[in-house]
């Protein structure tokens, strides 16, 4: 089966219809966030549930404020306590302080300066910050910077392999490029959010609903008969 632009269009439109989700509002909401806030939100969401990440973010906003100088001024214990619910709170709080310090020292406290750099340079800068890997950097670049880059998370990695878009051993950059070749850059943000939702609700890691999946005929891993995919 050819994975070309038509295939991607059909895939996304069926998923969108099946899930009945409206991504533009979510895209607008994320795109309107200050880049530092988006960076903090993404760091807090690493390896934790959305619910706990949101609770940690809101408590941090209420008790400390989410800005580089506010985090640097705050008592470190206060920051740890605010984000405790997200887990690994000591390491995360230390990382947030280091990120805040770097943003103040390198960019005068304004992360938007990074987003004005050429894409590859901006990406290198973000990746040099503690706790910032490809996914976190690319989310900031796409949503806050409007850059043409497709962030890949754990759901998107899994779905891409199951759909046969990439080989089993494909890494982050392979998966990112595969989607970038298939989609118009204007679709990256909405497609990113849609695929994550699809991974949560249908093509989940443990119990994919292949029997109900709207794209099972496009998926070589469909295991509808057994209720689980072959990978």
Shortest distance, CB of residue 149 to ligand SF4, whole angstroms?
Answer: 24
Residue 136 or 221: which CB sits closer to ligand SF4?
221
- Measured from the CB atom, the residue of 143 and 198 that comes closer to ligand SF4 is 198
Say whether residue 219 binds ligand SF4 (CB under 6 A).
yes
**Beta carbon nearer to ligand SF4, 105 or 217:** 217
Per CB under 6 A, which region of 40-48, 69-77, 144-152, 205-213 contacts ligand SF4?
205-213
Give the residue with the Cβ less far from ligand SF4, 86 or 191.
191
Closer of 108 and 211 to ligand SF4 (Cβ)? 211
**Binding residue for ligand SF4 (CB under 6 A) from 107, 172, 203, 206?**
203
Contact 156, 175 (CB under 8 A): yes
Helix (H, G, I), strand (E, B) or coil at 116: coil
Nearest to 141 by CA among 162, 164, 120: 120
**Alpha carbon distance 121, 134 (integer Å):** 13
- 210 contributes a contact to ligand SF4 by CB under 6 A: yes
Asked if 155 is part of the footprint of ligand SF4 (rule: CB under 6 A), the reply reads no
Q: Three-class SS of residue 221? A: coil
- Under the binding rule (CB under 6 A), the answer on residue 165 touching ligand SF4 is no
**229 lies in the binding site for ligand SF4 (CB under 6 A):** yes
Instruction: Find the binder of ligand SF4 among 56, 58, 202, 207 (CB under 6 A).
Output: 202
Using rule CB under 6 A, residue 142 touches ligand SF4: no
Question: Which whole-number Å values give the CA distances from 77 to 80, 88, 92, 104, in the listed order?
Answer: 5, 13, 12, 21
- Scored b (16 or more CB within 10 A) or e, 99-125 reads bbebbbeebeeebeebbeeeeeebbeb
Tell whether residue 8 is a contact of ligand SF4 (CB under 6 A). no
Longest dimension (CA), the chain: 58
Alpha-carbon separation of residue 73 from 42, 70, 97, 207 (angstroms): 21, 5, 10, 45
Pick from 160, 176, 222, 225 the residue near ligand SF4 by CB under 6 A: 222
Q: In angstroms, rounded to a whole number, what is the distance separating the alpha carbons of residues 38 and 93?
A: 16
Cβ-based neighbours of 89, under 8 Å, separated by 6 or more: 56, 80, 81, 83
Q: To the nearest whole angstrom, how small is the minimum distance from the Cβ of residue 11 to ligand SF4?
A: 9
In the complex with ligand SF4, the residue whose CB is nearer, 132 or 219, is: 219
Interacting residues toward ligand SF4 by CB under 6 A: 162-163, 202-203, 208-210, 213, 215-216, 219, 221-222, 229
């Amino acid at each position: 089966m050819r994975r070309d632009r038509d295939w991607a269009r059909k895939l996304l439109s069926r998923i969108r219809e099946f899930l009945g989700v409206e991504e533009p509002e979510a895209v607008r909401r994320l795109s309107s966030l200050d880049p530092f806030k988006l960076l903090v939100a993404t760091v807090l969401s690493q390896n934790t549930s959305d619910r706990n990440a949101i609770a940690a973010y809101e408590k941090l906003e209420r008790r400390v404020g989410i800005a580089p100088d506010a985090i640097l001024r705050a008592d470190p214990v206060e920051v740890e306590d605010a984000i405790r619910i997200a887990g690994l709170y000591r390491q995360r709080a230390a990382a947030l302080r280091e990120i805040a310090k770097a943003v103040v020292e390198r960019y005068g406290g304004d992360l938007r300066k990074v987003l004005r750099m050429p894409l590859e340079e901006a990406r290198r800068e973000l990746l040099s910050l503690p706790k910032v890997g490809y996914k976190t950097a690319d989310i900031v670049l796409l949503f806050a910077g409007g850059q043409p880059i497709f962030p890949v998370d754990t759901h998107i990695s899994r779905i891409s392999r199951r759909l046969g878009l990439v080989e089993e051993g494909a890494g982050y950059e392979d998966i990112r490029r595969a989607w970038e070749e298939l989609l118009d850059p204007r679709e990256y943000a909405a497609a990113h959010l849609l695929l994550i939702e699809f991974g949560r609700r249908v093509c989940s890691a443990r119990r994919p609903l292949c029997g109900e999946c709207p794209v099972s005929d496009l998926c070589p891993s469909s295991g509808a008969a057994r209720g689980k995919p072959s990978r």
